[in-house]
Amino acid sequence: MSDVSLPASGLGTQANLWLDRAAQFAKKHREAWPAVAIVVATVAAYHFTLASMFDFLRLDTPLAYLPLLPLFCVGIAIITARRFQFAKRPIQDRQVDFLVGIPMVVLALLLITLAPVIASTYYWSDRADVVSMALFAAGATIIGYGITWMWRLKASFIFLLLMWPALYLHLMAGVMQRFTDVTNSALAHIVQHVPLGTTLGANLGDLIVTVPKGAPLTISVVSACSGANSVLGFALIGAAILTVMGGGRGRKLLWWITGMALAFALNIVRLISIIFLAHIGHPSLALGGYHAVIGLVLFAIVVLVMLWVLPLFGLHYKEQVKDRIPAGAAAAAAARPRGWTRKRKVATGVVVALTAVVALADHGLQPYAAFDDGSGSPTVKPFGAASALKGWTIEPIAQYPWVTQYFGQNSTWYRYTVVRPGLSNVSYADVVLTDDKGSLDAYNLLNCFLFHNYDIRTSEKIDLGNGVYGLLLNYTDPATNTKWATVSWAWPVNNKGDTYYERIALTSSPIQGTSVQPGVAQPQGFGIQDLLLDLLNGVSGGHNDPNAAPLFKTVDGALQGEAGSLVGHTVQAGS
């Protein structure tokens, strides 16, 4: 028995030692645990947002390195916290903290619950969920630590907000073209003086590479390969690093510009290595796996090299902030309750519940991601005969040329008939396609119908599935005295490589077998009255005439089912 009890006693002693060390560690870092909880809660709550952003790493776009920003944000927060660890505890006004922090968290929740319903298929184009994540983290920090600490950590939250893709997708078109032109000029100069078996093509950016076997290979250097991704990535990450460094603004600026220049230069090296691999007989490797990985490797080298040369530029970590701590502070800290008080348990429960709610809402954003490939380009194709499901028939029957005066010179309006198997009545699809999204908003369907004095009996927003919200309208056309039901929705589409916007309106009659086509409501000006009516309908959630409901019930159900089927089929085809 003694042979068995001795090891057990030794194990027990070791376990107690580990527990004591863990308790001492937890006691020593008591103030840091709420911060750890905030980070864990943010990652758990916005798991889908972060996962979708990390998909950018495999894309050759200027947004490729945005997913790395949260890691640097955490690093900035840790370094800043250590810098202020010996500073005097800031005065906290908990009432003000709650008045600021709680609305920020509520707004963050609205951005991933209410905003998707309003924006529908356009939600993923602007990615309000990233803004929501930044607000959630900042609001939780204010609630946990106060406004003073949030201000000390402001750089972390600013760079978390700079992960918002919309900032770059809507502002970088001109910058991207300049990068492409500079890259093409540099490569054209290099290939003329370096024996790479490469000549310039007829079009700017085309390089003709000779290969040992087969016809020459044409490589096009477009904006995605121009080096903008690595330069933008270092501009953001380098700026994040500089927030915790001291040494003068001039030195920081010189280091920052040097890093961007190095990133651009190594991208030229990357392109030359791809051309060289293709020239010696490995085109599949050069344009496949090597092309996908070498950019990340070289970018990591840029960051490591620039971190290593920080002292050469005279840059160093900012000095710690040390204030005189009042004599009673240590005693007050020691007198604080160590255990789990009732108040702390309630607060923890609220945090866990809120995190779960936000996590569910964030997870529910998955359908919206199907409308954007991550680089700002839509995945859905325009409506047409190819949109028909198996057994369906979609045929164009009319075109309205005057559409250009309202929706732009590049707009079209086609009417189609949609015939489903097993149904005797025909649906009509009016499809407006334009490159001007604002025109679809200005000349929306409801305002057009109101201008033409259509008797609107039902107007309500409906869920068509796959993240698409449409508008259901039941109305009477006074010109023909016929009743119609319409389900419409709008989304961004990929029209021959360009981003366009499409509104589809499915219309059918509640009276089976009618031979009259629905009237075409020509758009009119967007007046104050129409704006107020639209706003009133939005605030009231639409209206539904109970007297008209029995007449339109069957056709409404058929149209919603038809629209949902078309939406699902189109989304699947684009994914």
- Per-residue pLDDT tens for 247-272? 888 999 999 999 999 998 888 888 88
CB atoms within 10 A of CB 490: 23
pLDDT value at residue 15: 58
Averaged pLDDT score across all residues of the chain: 79
Token pair recorded at residue 374: 């991550």
pLDDT value at residue 333: 46
pLDDT value at residue 551: 74
pLDDT value at residue 31: 67
CA trace torsion 44, 130, 230, 157 (10° rounding): -80
pLDDT score of 11 more than 70: no
If DSSP codes are grouped into helix, strand and coil, which group holds residue 4? helix
pLDDT value at residue 44: 92
pLDDT value at residue 379: 84
- The rounded distance, in Å, linking the Cα atoms of 464 and 564 is 5
Angle between helices 47-54 and 128-145 (to 10 degrees): 130
Per residue in 224-244, pLDDT (tens digit) is: 566 677 888 898 899 989 988
Place of tokens 């645990």: 33
Per residue in 40-86, pLDDT (tens digit) is: 999 999 999 998 888 777 666 667 788 888 998 998 988 888 888 77
Q: 395: Cβ–Cβ under 8 A, 6 or more apart, which residues?
A: 385, 416, 417
Confidence of residue 12 (pLDDT cuts 50, 70, 90): low
CA trace torsion 264, 268, 270, 272 (10° rounding): 180
Per residue in 272-313, pLDDT (tens digit) is: 888 888 778 777 777 777 776 888 888 889 999 999 999 999
pLDDT value at residue 433: 94
519 versus 565: the higher-pLDDT residue is 565
pLDDT score of 137 more than 90: yes
529 versus 488: the higher-pLDDT residue is 488
If DSSP codes are grouped into helix, strand and coil, which group holds residue 474? strand
398-402, 405-409, 479-483: segment of lowest average pLDDT: 479-483
pLDDT score of 22 more than 60: no
pLDDT score of 218 more than 80: no
- The rounded distance, in Å, linking the Cα atoms of 503 and 205 is 36
One-character DSSP codes across 284-329: HHHHTHHHHHHHHHHHHHHHHHHHHTTGGGT-EEPPPP--PPPHHH
How much of the chain exceeds pLDDT 70, in percent? 76
pLDDT value at residue 520: 55
